[in-house]
Amino acid sequence: MKRPATARVLTRDAKPGLRGLFGGAVLAAAALGVVHQARGQEVAQLVQTYGYSYYGDLSYAPDFPHYSYVNPDAPQGGEISEWAPGTFDSMNPYTRRGRAGRYSWALYESLLQDSGPFGDAAPADVYGEYYCLLCESLEYPETKDWVIFHLRPEARFSDGTPVTADDVVFTHNLFLEQGLPSYAEAVRQRVINAEVIDDHTVRFDFAPGISRRSLIDQVGSTPVFSHRWFEETGARLDESRLETSPGSGPYVLDSYEINRRITYRRNSDYWGNALGLNRGRNNFDVVRVEYFADDAAAFEAFKTGVYTYRPEGNSRQWAVGYDFPAVQNGWILREEIPDGNPPTPTGFVFNLAHPQFQDRNVREAISLAYNFEWTNQQLQYGLMSQRYSYSQGSPLEAQGVPEGAELALLQSLGDLVPPEMLSEPAVTAHTSSADQLQDRRNMRRANRLLEEAGWVVGDDGVRRNAAGEPFVIEFPYPSSGSATLESIIETFAQNLRALGIEIRAQRIDPAQYTERERDRDYDMVFDQYVAFLDTGTGLHQRFGSEAAAYSLFNPAGLASPLVDRLIDISLMAESPEDRDTALRALDRTLRYERIMVPLWFNANQWVAYWDVLRHPAEFPRFSSGGMDWWWYDSARAADLRAAGALN
């Protein structure tokens, strides 16, 4: 299948490197040598700054006029709209209950800016840097034992009330009392005190004897809610509700129709319009989300202009689906935007709590039933690459057998490290024949591994263990997914059935799927973890043992003492080199564990949009920014309406 040549390939601005991990000129972040007497402690050397990075360097100067990748003169107005799958019955994104509407978090801001209201990275050209948003400055000792934030006096919620230190502390405590258990437990162990000093000053103290990583940026990136509103309404953070509390962000909830659409409106009285970190951003007057039962219905609606912006994830659709009048007439544009992030670790995830997946060799055998090469050629038009690493394509990707500092680190951990990890190359994805779905070599190896693990095929073709129990896999997936994903799951299932394994691939309603995912009511599931370019305590939530039994962010339920130890070592590293060594060893270990069947990735972001949207000529490395720093061309919109292309 030949790839069409109709999509425009764009370039990203190559400077700077991996969000702060690599070179590029940096500006001094703070003035050292300032003294401060705090809470009766001895006078200590402080860092006073307008932003934060762990190693103290920031790429933007104080009072910078705007981020380098935006159009500072972008016009404001118009609308951008996109689609969401399935249904929603809540506008509270911070609870396990209900199915939250897309972008329901967009109303709220934090002390430090770590993203735009609709999830795009901010800043998007550097990594691990945070600039003051609700705060105007912060200070902390070089030991990072505590931090004080000084809030901007002009910051306001959308109801006109000021954002105060009391709101910050209230929100912190609310997440501890009513937030997701895995999050609350992790924060409670690390942040031992939150204190209002005055209306615009708040202090956080951190637990002694732990890494200083992900402490200042953690408390600085927590959304801030209105204490007054929660007190007056009696609302809870852990309840499903459609009523929203006032936020301080550039957008407010305008309207919604359950399971049909959500509309956000730019707040004309937004307090932060004049800030440099907001200039050239938040340009649309209206952001609208249209809901559809599945991808097929959503694509048909896009063709007719029901919504205007579509990130495309369906390879078949990208290859052959865009030959329709609106594209032919130039009303819809397509672009391929290079993605500087490591690919998201997506795959068919094993539920490690279930007995059939306790044996690592069984997990390898199941993985061998996935034929990437055939799937890519026959179902994905050869557009994809195969993923295997949690930091693929970055300097943190483990390569070959461990050597040098990484080998020394692993050897120092003794019996925690399986001997084969020291002598064998890092696990990569297996290769398969592109000519036929069942690769005989891989199927034979899978059969041997299963038999060695005690799963033997009987005369009836069914694979059973010593107790006579058949090998069964329950595999739910949402009906809102693409037809291509459904075909890939079915071809994977065909190979498993050929191995004597009964797999029940169940296409179910999105709401039911959400509940089953939350309850880990599956043997395998199509899900994802997080790629990493740096360390942070969030790695414990994603991969660690402390919340493995219930964390929504660890769908496999991985609990490995070696993984825990490597995360801790990376957190306590005294240099970037030591940190990177630990993270390479972590990548090697996660791949060794085989917690998922790694699937595919796309090195570019595919975007289709109606020709009323505009963007800067060059993109930053870490985001395409469609909902953040693009803008609306009202003159072109009038032309399309006159031509009958848009309503």
* Alpha carbon distance 329, 377 (integer Å): 30
DSSP secondary structure string for all residues of 563-610: HHHHHHHHHH-SSHHHHHHHHHHHHHHHHHHT-EEE-EE-SEEEEEEE
pLDDT digits (tens, 9 = 90+) for 298-335: 999 999 999 999 999 999 999 999 999 999 999 999 99
* Alpha carbon distance 303, 290 (integer Å): 14
Residue 30 has a pLDDT of: 34
Residue 328 has a pLDDT of: 96
Q: Indicate the pLDDT class of residue 482, thresholds 50, 70 and 90.
A: confident
Domain ranges of the chain: 1-339+602-647, 346-358+371-436+472-478+501-600
Residue 321 has a pLDDT of: 96
Name residue 572's amino acid: M
Residue 44 has a pLDDT of: 60
Q: Is 393 left (phi over 0), alpha (psi -120 to 50) or beta?
A: left
Query: Does position 29 have pLDDT exceeding 60, yes or no?
Result: no
pLDDT digits (tens, 9 = 90+) for 492-550: 999 999 999 999 999 999 889 989 998 999 999 999 999 999 998 889 989 999 889 88
Query: Does position 3 have pLDDT exceeding 60, yes or no?
Result: no
3-state SS, one letter per residue, for 502-552: EEEEEEECHHHHHHHHHCCCCCEEEEECCCCCCCCCHHHHHHCCCCCCCCC
Q: What is the DSSP letter of 414?
A: G
Question: Residue 138 forms beta bridges with which residues?
Answer: 49, 149
State whether residue 121 is helix, strand or coil: strand
pLDDT digits (tens, 9 = 90+) for 369-406: 999 999 999 999 999 999 999 999 999 999 999 999 99
* HSE value, Cβ hemisphere, 13 Å, CA-based, for 251: 28
Residue 183 has a pLDDT of: 86
Nearest to 252 by CA among 260, 244, 241: 244
Name residues whose C-beta falls within 8 Å of residue 159's C-beta, 6 or more positions apart in sequence.
226, 229, 246
CB 59 within 8 A of CB 129: yes
pLDDT digits (tens, 9 = 90+) for 335-349: 999 998 999 999 999
* Alpha carbon distance 513, 476 (integer Å): 7
Residue 83 has a pLDDT of: 97
pLDDT digits (tens, 9 = 90+) for 405-427: 999 999 999 999 999 999 999 99
pLDDT digits (tens, 9 = 90+) for 170-219: 999 999 999 988 889 889 999 999 999 999 999 999 999 999 999 999 99
Residue 14 has a pLDDT of: 37
pLDDT digits (tens, 9 = 90+) for 626-646: 999 999 999 999 999 999 998
* Alpha carbon distance 4, 230 (integer Å): 54
Residue 72 has a pLDDT of: 97
pLDDT digits (tens, 9 = 90+) for 424-477: 999 999 999 999 999 999 999 999 999 999 999 999 999 999 999 999 999 999
CB 66 within 8 A of CB 280: yes
Query: Does position 38 have pLDDT exceeding 80, yes or no?
Result: no
Nearest to 115 by CA among 98, 133, 100: 133
Query: Does position 31 have pLDDT exceeding 50, yes or no?
Result: no
* Alpha carbon distance 235, 532 (integer Å): 35
Fold for 346-358+371-436+472-478+501-600, please state it. Dipeptide-binding Protein; domain 3 (3.10.105)
Nearest to 342 by CA among 287, 391, 284: 391
pTM: 0.87
3-state SS, one letter per residue, for 343-355: CCCEEEEECCCCH
Name residue 433's amino acid: S
CB 294 within 8 A of CB 316: no
pLDDT averaged over the chain?
Answer: 92
Question: Residue 113 forms beta bridges with which residues?
Answer: 131
Nearest to 588 by CA among 377, 454, 407, 463: 407
Name residue 440's amino acid: R
pLDDT digits (tens, 9 = 90+) for 142-179: 999 999 999 999 999 999 999 999 999 999 999 999 99
Residue with the larger pLDDT of the pair 163 and 28: 163
State whether residue 228 is helix, strand or coil: helix
CATH 3.40.190.10 fits 1-339+602-647, yes or no: yes
Segment 483-488 shows an average pLDDT of: 93
Query: Does position 552 have pLDDT exceeding 50, yes or no?
Result: yes
CB 607 within 8 A of CB 337: yes
Is the CA virtual torsion 217, 222, 226, 227 positive or negative?
A: negative
Exposed, middle or buried: residue 186 (CB in 10 Å: 0-12, 13-18, 19+)? buried
* Alpha carbon distance 509, 506 (integer Å): 10
Segment 52-71 shows an average pLDDT of: 95
pLDDT digits (tens, 9 = 90+) for 437-450: 999 999 999 999 99
Residue 537 has a pLDDT of: 85
CB 471 within 8 A of CB 455: yes
Query: Does position 13 have pLDDT exceeding 60, yes or no?
Result: no
* Alpha carbon distance 447, 103 (integer Å): 46
Element (H, E) at 317: helix 315-320
Percent of the chain at pLDDT above 90?
Answer: 87
